[in-house]
Homo-oligomer: A and B are copies of this chain.
């Protein structure tokens, strides 16, 4: 009981940090009246977006809640509700803080660069800590209720199903935030540019453009709410899947058995709790040094959080697992030590560090990849895009090798459970990582506000410097998000196979009847496994393709709305009439939600449809094999598609920045025009299709787990 309470205290610390920091940020000076007006418009737009988005989520959520309650019982449905509400809350609060911190960042930057960094980073940290804290609290408190309040056995199916449903609740928010949000943000960006820059000939961030506010809202939608929901989901599903594996490995008659069941189930939660404290400590290490390097200040914080986490996890080992030399044996006969698990956690932290470094290499302006795209821009639009695509494809290699090395080494240390613990440790830093990402839109907005409010040039210089770093952190954290999503999904896949084996082994005429006589051949020489891999592998390609098209259509909707406003209110262009920002936001939100229906159904329905179609053709056993293989197929191609899109997009973005910094002729040159084309292509790559693949990967896996639960109930 005491470890569980300590875990909960960790989660509460995150929430407390959030509240204190919100109050701190809100106390800052909000600048001139003009700045406040603009910020109010953005905040109003964010409200319009959130209202429309959450209303839709609410409707879908109610339907899913009822379905879960009917098929799997009320505890499962409540688990779903908890996951959805907490993830929604983290995104909602985060967005609202972001759209208030932006103007305060602009104002603080007018005094000092350090001041601007402080406000922007702190507001990002609010979102980050809420993500980690609420995800941890949700799982821990519901587990506390189920095992202590409802007196269920920790390894019982009811507990497992309820926790999996909590992850599914997070998935609901995640797919809306990533896919719907991604279509929204790039629809606003591309559409606004088309009708503003190209048609009307007014600059970016011009307040006369009715889509300008939507564009600023979109930044927060993507990199604050979107990233928050994505990592909340990965956090929740990874912790839950690790707990499920613990329940399966340590509840059987063989192995170390039930004595270690609860410590093992709590171990991932404890790592999460400990790393919340180190992440909070890390935020205090973010300070501008004498060299005025913003990126350096942020990395100082990340390194501090990472190094402290090693100590904190060691402390968890001492408290929960009796140090480092205790030996455990799973019910499947794998033996490892608590020291081995600690090693896995450290490897998880190392993977985080390596992925950050690799992604910065591929998207930073100081290195070969971005420079090569900038060089290729000199010879035109086509060569810019060719080189960008080449880099995007190439950028998959090193992260893949890091992930593979992580799998091999942690499996050697502690088997499947070791892999799960590594991913848990990787995600334990999610609080700090989201802080880095949510920092981006705040500085981006701050720059926009400084522009629109006509602040002096040196303020613009500070906000530009912050914005440039924001571009890098956004790219870097996207690499982390997809890497962790892929690994988290692998843990989910392990949970699927373990769950399936459990149901088959325990099937009888009285329980798990559906699984009687089922014998699944997961071997690669079973053609249905090949079929599953192929069909699963197709999903990220098709999903990403539809998402890219959706951005185009949403942008088209923006163009029409802006044209309509210009037509009906000629005063807008003369500056005598105010555009209806809210209407543009609301219209775009509706368009984005409409556009996300088809692609979001793809990962949701495919495991279910695949199961029943193959069951019809070849029977239950092959259906389970096909669905299982399809999960791995989604992970496999999803990882590569998402990494290539997010890194490639980031590289294009910074190649443009690199030219704007005065290389190859600078702004306005032919090379710059080519680089703008690359950046436009990279936008939906890195902000819509790529990131949206993350929830797609996780959702197929979660749905498959729920499908098993439903079949077990039937």
Contact residues of A between 351 and 390, Cβ < 8 Å to B: 372, 376, 379-383, 385-387, 389-390
What 0/1 pattern do residues 508 to 540 of A give for CB contact below 8 A with B?
Answer: 000000000000001111011111011101100
> Which residues does chain B contribute within 8 Å of A541, judged by CB atoms?
393-394, 396-397, 640, 644
What 0/1 pattern do residues 539 to 555 of A give for CB contact below 8 A with B?
Answer: 00110111011011001
Report the stretch among A261-269, A401-409, A660-668 that lies at the interface.
A401-409
> Which residues does chain B contribute within 8 Å of A633, judged by CB atoms?
636
Shortest C-beta distance, A658 to chain B (Å), equals 17
Closest 5 CB pairs of A and B: A382-B680, A393-B545, A394-B545, A390-B548, A381-B677
Q: Roughly how many angstroms separate A194 CA and B194 CA in the complex, as a whole number? A: 28
Instruction: List 8 interface pairs A-B (beta carbons < 8 Å), by A numbering.
Output: A390-B548, A393-B545, A393-B548, A396-B545, A404-B531, A412-B617, A522-B523, A524-B628
| A residues whose Cβ falls under 8 Å from a Cβ of B | 190, 194, 198, 372, 376, 379-383, 385-387, 389-397, 400-401, 403-404, 407-408, 411-412, 416, 419, 490, 493-494, 497, 522-525, 527-531, 533-535, 537-538, 541-542, 544-546, 548-549, 551-552, 555, 617-618, 628-629, 632-633, 636-637, 639-640, 644, 676-677, 679-681, 684-685
Beta-carbon nearest neighbor of A382 in chain B: B680
> Which residues does chain B contribute within 8 Å of A618, judged by CB atoms?
408, 412
- Across the interface, do A680 and B380 meet the contact criterion of CB distance under 8 Å? yes
Given A390-B549, A538-B396, is A527 in contact with B408 using a C-beta cutoff of 8 Å?
yes
Shortest C-beta distance, A155 to chain B (Å), equals 20
Give which listed residue, B522, B538, B552, contacts A386 with CB less than 8 A.
B552
Besides A372-B549, A538-B640, 20 other A-B contacts (C-beta < 8 A)? A376-B552, A382-B677, A382-B680, A383-B555, A385-B681, A389-B545, A391-B545, A393-B541, A393-B548, A396-B541, A397-B541, A397-B542, A404-B534, A407-B534, A522-B525, A524-B632, A534-B639, A537-B637, A637-B637, A637-B640
Shortest C-beta distance, A443 to chain B (Å), equals 24
> Which residues does chain B contribute within 8 Å of A493, judged by CB atoms?
524
Q: Roughly how many angstroms separate A394 CA and B641 CA in the complex, as a whole number? A: 13
- Across the interface, do A525 and B494 meet the contact criterion of CB distance under 8 Å? yes
- Across the interface, do B677 and A380 meet the contact criterion of CB distance under 8 Å? yes
> Which residues does chain B contribute within 8 Å of A629, judged by CB atoms?
524
Given A394-B542, A524-B628, is A383 in contact with B637 using a C-beta cutoff of 8 Å?
no
Shortest C-beta distance, A312 to chain B (Å), equals 27
- Across the interface, do B632 and A535 meet the contact criterion of CB distance under 8 Å? no
- Across the interface, do B524 and A529 meet the contact criterion of CB distance under 8 Å? yes
Give which listed residue, B416, B538, B644, contacts A397 with CB less than 8 A.
B538
> Which residues does chain B contribute within 8 Å of A677, judged by CB atoms?
380-382, 385, 677
Give which listed residue, B387, B523, B628, contacts A549 with CB less than 8 A.
B387
> Which residues does chain B contribute within 8 Å of A392, judged by CB atoms?
545
Beta-carbon nearest neighbor of A416 in chain B: B527
Q: Roughly how many angstroms separate A382 CA and B401 CA in the complex, as a whole number? A: 32
> Which residues does chain B contribute within 8 Å of A391, judged by CB atoms?
545
Given A393-B542, A546-B394, A633-B636, is A380 in contact with B198 using a C-beta cutoff of 8 Å?
yes
Beta-carbon nearest neighbor of A538 in chain B: B400
> Which residues does chain B contribute within 8 Å of A497, judged by CB atoms?
524-525
Beta-carbon nearest neighbor of A389 in chain B: B548
- Across the interface, do B386 and A527 meet the contact criterion of CB distance under 8 Å? no
- Across the interface, do B533 and A382 meet the contact criterion of CB distance under 8 Å? no
- Across the interface, do A527 and B385 meet the contact criterion of CB distance under 8 Å? no
Q: Roughly how many angstroms separate A394 CA and B602 CA in the complex, as a whole number? A: 13
Beta-carbon nearest neighbor of A543 in chain B: B393
Q: Roughly how many angstroms separate A679 CA and B382 CA in the complex, as a whole number? A: 8
Give which listed residue, B408, B527, B538, B545, contacts A407 with CB less than 8 A.
B527
Beta-carbon nearest neighbor of A548 in chain B: B390
- Across the interface, do B381 and A381 meet the contact criterion of CB distance under 8 Å? yes
Q: Which of A386, A387, A497, A632 has the most CB of B within 10 A?
A: A386
> Which residues does chain B contribute within 8 Å of A538, judged by CB atoms?
396-397, 400-401, 640
Shortest C-beta distance, A429 to chain B (Å), equals 23
- Across the interface, do B527 and A419 meet the contact criterion of CB distance under 8 Å? yes
> Which residues does chain B contribute within 8 Å of A400, judged by CB atoms?
534-535, 537-538
> Which residues does chain B contribute within 8 Å of A490, judged by CB atoms?
530
> Which residues does chain B contribute within 8 Å of A412, judged by CB atoms?
617-618
Q: Roughly how many angstroms separate A389 CA and B678 CA in the complex, as a whole number? A: 13
Given A198-B379, A198-B380, is A386 in contact with B548 using a C-beta cutoff of 8 Å?
yes
> Which residues does chain B contribute within 8 Å of A549, judged by CB atoms?
372, 387, 390, 394
Beta-carbon nearest neighbor of A501 in chain B: B525
Shortest C-beta distance, A491 to chain B (Å), equals 11
Give which listed residue, B389, B411, B533, B544, contacts A393 with CB less than 8 A.
B544
Shortest C-beta distance, A367 to chain B (Å), equals 15
Q: Roughly how many angstroms separate A676 CA and B490 CA in the complex, as a whole number? A: 42
Given A397-B542, A534-B403, A537-B636, is A390 in contact with B524 using a C-beta cutoff of 8 Å?
no
Beta-carbon nearest neighbor of A525 in chain B: B497
Q: Roughly how many angstroms separate A525 CA and B624 CA in the complex, as a whole number? A: 13
Shortest C-beta distance, A211 to chain B (Å), equals 14
Beta-carbon nearest neighbor of A637 in chain B: B637
Q: Roughly how many angstroms separate A531 CA and B412 CA in the complex, as a whole number? A: 13
Beta-carbon nearest neighbor of A524 in chain B: B522
Shortest C-beta distance, A609 to chain B (Å), equals 12
> Which residues does chain B contribute within 8 Å of A639, judged by CB atoms?
534
Beta-carbon nearest neighbor of A632 in chain B: B524
- Across the interface, do A404 and B636 meet the contact criterion of CB distance under 8 Å? no
Q: Roughly how many angstroms separate A383 CA and B556 CA in the complex, as a whole number? A: 11
> Which residues does chain B contribute within 8 Å of A395, judged by CB atoms?
545
Give which listed residue, B407, B408, B527, contacts A411 with CB less than 8 A.
B527
Q: Roughly how many angstroms separate A372 CA and B497 CA in the complex, as a whole number? A: 42
- Across the interface, do B681 and A382 meet the contact criterion of CB distance under 8 Å? yes
Shortest C-beta distance, A301 to chain B (Å), equals 31
Beta-carbon nearest neighbor of A640 in chain B: B541
Q: Which of A411, A525, A544 has the most CB of B within 10 A?
A: A525
